[in-house]
Amino acid sequence: MRKLIFLSFCLILLAVSSQAFSNGIGVVNASTGIYLKTVATRINVSVESQISTTVTTQTFQNNLGADKTVSFAFPMPDGASATGLRWKVNGTWYQAPIAPRPQDSTLPGGTMNTNLKTYLGSTPLFFGIQQQVKRDSTLIVELTYVQLLKYDFGSVYYDYTNDYHLIQTAAMESQEMTFNLTSPRTIDSIRLVSANPLTQLTNNGNNAVVISNLYSAAATVNFKIKYSLNLNQLGLYSYSTLIPQAQLPDSLGGFFMFIAEPNPGNTANIIKKVFTLIVDRSGSMGGTKIDQAKNAAKFIVNNLNPGDKFNIVDFETSVYSFRSQHVLYTTQTRDSALTYVNNIVAGGSTNISGAFSTAVPQFNAATDSTANIIIFFTDGQPTVGITETTALLNHVHNLITTAESKIFLYSFGIGTDVNQQLLTLMSSQNNGYSEFLLDGELESRITNFYLRIKNPVLLSPTVSFNAGGITNVYPNPLPNLYIGQQMIVTGRYTSTGPVTVTLSGKAFNQPVSYQYTFNRVDTTATRYQFLTKIWAKQKIDNLLVQYYSLTPGTPQALAIKQQIISISIGYGVISPFTSFGNPTHVNNENENINIAGSYKLVGNYPNPFNPTTTIKFIVNKNVTGVYLVKIYNQVGQLVDVIKFTLNGKGIYEAKWDAAKFASGVYYYRIDFGEDLLTGKMVLMK
């Protein structure tokens, strides 16, 4: 009897969610929709290949006539990890550490109104600002997070939801986005695909910059950037950095990450699929959801490959099947399946156990030379058949152990009423993966997901290294490899130097392996500091799989929970058991040179000014040479340039004499190559 194998829980590394980045909100009363006015937003994005670090800063104004208690709310993207939060109130900067407790979602005014709830989405971040925001003063909140961007066939997408109309229709003083991309693969193209004004776009092949600035306008357009990486430059790309031991919470050594991708032009090696789509058609799926489910099903049926076999199982109280077994994909079976899908209607209860009892045994006739795939989605709790979580999990486990073919299961929960624990455990206990969607995302997320897994080329892969000292490699197990997609792997190392990595798996039931070489550096690579965050995020995800498989409160579960908390706090990555806590670090305007990172902007003073102001910044790196401060007017035109010389670490100042310029808002930009500092100033004559 052959063991059933499910896909990796960490498929997030293969393709991340499409939910966009967004502006935060200063909530005064969540129920009645009273917020601080957002007067400015600034988004600085640094991307290495497909790993983005976003620093988003919102400036709020208290124009409500009295001192106010405020909570900051932010619609975190699915799969993103918050790594830093600081704020400036009443002239002082505060920074929040990560605390060993889940976040408090309580907001001033109580229950969220519909617009606020819609805007914040399914994974919001909340943080209560401890200090009252004084009347007619400003609050500045800066949030930092890392994420893997969506990747398909060489194209990468960055979205920032800047459409703020559900929260505020008044104009903002400024909306600024700076997007810096570095890639070892040639950047074939990059463009701002949204209707935002394009201030600057440069691309030299391995580095690209996009700047979009808009002033004195309402925020009604989302920022969208798309870039394409050369599809002839595939293989393995690696990154590594060795952090000093004194700066780490453990003794596991350096950090590495590699990105591997198969050749999309080699379609002869695409593995045929045996495919089942399990569709929830219970009463709660009525209306828009069942329409989207049917559209997704029809899309999949229309996009199967020649030689694939398929079936459709749909369920409510009863369970139905398009055919009693998988059928070869032909023009005739395709058209019959489309007619079958068109006749699906919602009604009845939710019989999940019956659906799997029908679907899984149909794979007994499959072989290990095919990719045997189930896509399952539901929007509710099991209400008929086996309904108790443990019993249902045991039922699925029994089906798994008696099946005779490898099956790869993808589970999707829709809306807020799904049993997330059930779907997570159903997948994770069998090395699987579950994803949770909003009601309106079903069709787009399922169809996009199917395109990503349409063409498998390497099943059940494993990784090995020809040198010792490499540990804590994630995801574990590895996800399958598909045409046009990537495998992203992180780990730790104690020995430096070159190492050969071997990816092994099966294609057409035959062993296949690929060998690559990458180097484990013996120095700290400042630009790769994000590796610590990505590794910690992957390790936390792996531990969560183990935690959710245990009974809460048992010694084993508590031990894993504590390990997750320790990693979260030690590496500064938010987890389900941690949140941003009370500030322990306070900075006044006179910044200390001991900062995290290589460069930091203090700001300009005075501001407003007439006619001169001094721009102050900190360099925490041994850099020398002549650099420029570029000054832009309110419409984004370059109006002046200030030269300055760096001579290593220190606090630097650049003075701007604006005697010949008219009153108004101006913006300055300091480009250090690997980092970019920007700020705003007001000339008042």
pLDDT value, residue 432: 61
Domain's final residue, options 452, 469, 498 = 452
453 Cβ neighbours under 8 A, 6+ residues apart: 373, 410, 480, 482, 485
Distance CA 237, CA 329 (A): 37
429 Cβ neighbours under 8 A, 6+ residues apart: 393, 397, 549
Task: CATH number of the domain at 638, please.
Answer: 2.60.40.2550
Token readout for 233 is 């430059």
The structure tokens 């789509």 sit at 277
Average of per-residue pLDDT across 476-501: 89
Where does residue 612 fall: left (phi above 0), alpha (psi -120 to 50 degrees), or beta otherwise? beta
- What percent of the chain shows pLDDT beyond 70? 92
Cβ contact 315:354 at 8 Å: yes
What band does 591 get if pLDDT is binned at 50, 70 and 90?
Answer: very low
Cβ contact 276:550 at 8 Å: no
Read off the pLDDT of residues 86-125 as tens digits, 9 standing for 90 and up: 998 887 888 888 889 999 999 999 999 999 998 888 789 9
Domain's final residue, options 405, 435, 452 = 452
Range scoring the smallest mean pLDDT among 59-73, 201-215, 434-448: 434-448
* Nearest residue to 70 (alpha-carbon basis) of 80, 81, 59: 59
Q: pTM for the whole thing?
A: 0.68
Query: At what angle are helices 530-548 and 555-571 packed, to 10 degrees?
Result: 170
pLDDT value, residue 537: 92
Full 3-state SS string of 88-131: EECCEEEECCEECCCCCCCCCCCCCCHHHHHHHCCCEEEEECCC
Task: CATH number of the domain at 448, please.
Answer: 3.40.50.410
pLDDT value, residue 10: 33
Distance CA 23, CA 163 (A): 9
* Nearest residue to 243 (alpha-carbon basis) of 520, 569, 575: 520
Q: Is residue 391 part of a domain?
A: yes
Element containing residue 397 per DSSP (H, E): helix 389-402
Read off the pLDDT of residues 140-197 as tens digits, 9 standing for 90 and up: 999 998 988 888 888 999 888 778 889 999 998 888 889 999 999 999 999 999 988 9
* Nearest residue to 532 (alpha-carbon basis) of 260, 245, 240, 151: 240
Domain that residue 326 falls in: 271-452
Phi first, then psi, for residue 596 (nearest 5°) are -80, 135
Average of per-residue pLDDT across 326-350: 95
Read off the pLDDT of residues 81-94 as tens digits, 9 standing for 90 and up: 899 999 988 878 88
Q: Is residue 293 part of a domain?
A: yes
pLDDT value, residue 578: 94
Average of per-residue pLDDT across 528-549: 89
Read off the pLDDT of residues 251-290 as tens digits, 9 standing for 90 and up: 899 999 999 886 655 545 677 889 999 999 999 998 888 8
Domain's final residue, options 437, 452, 467 = 452
pLDDT value, residue 583: 77
For residue 18, is pLDDT > 50? no
Read off the pLDDT of residues 564-586 as tens digits, 9 standing for 90 and up: 999 999 998 999 999 998 875 55
Tell me the average pLDDT of the chain. Answer: 85
Beta strands in 114-182 (DSSP E): 124-128, 138-148, 150-152, 155-161, 172-182
Average of per-residue pLDDT across 403-417: 80
pLDDT value, residue 662: 84
What band does 60 get if pLDDT is binned at 50, 70 and 90?
Answer: very high
Eight-class DSSP state of 448: H
Which one has a higher pLDDT value, 319 or 680? 319
Q: Is residue 382 part of a domain?
A: yes
Q: Is residue 76 part of a domain?
A: no
The most distant pair of C-alpha atoms in the chain lies apart, rounded to whole Å, by: 84
Q: How many residues does the chain have?
A: 685
What band does 319 get if pLDDT is binned at 50, 70 and 90?
Answer: very high
Q: Is residue 679 part of a domain?
A: yes
Distance CA 180, CA 680 (A): 19
SS3 161: strand
Read off the pLDDT of residues 596-653 as tens digits, 9 standing for 90 and up: 567 888 888 887 788 888 998 888 888 888 888 989 887 677 889 998 888 888 888 8
Q: What is the domain count for the chain?
A: 2
Distance CA 202, CA 67 (A): 45
Read off the pLDDT of residues 210-263 as tens digits, 9 standing for 90 and up: 999 888 889 888 889 999 999 888 888 999 999 888 778 888 999 999 998 866
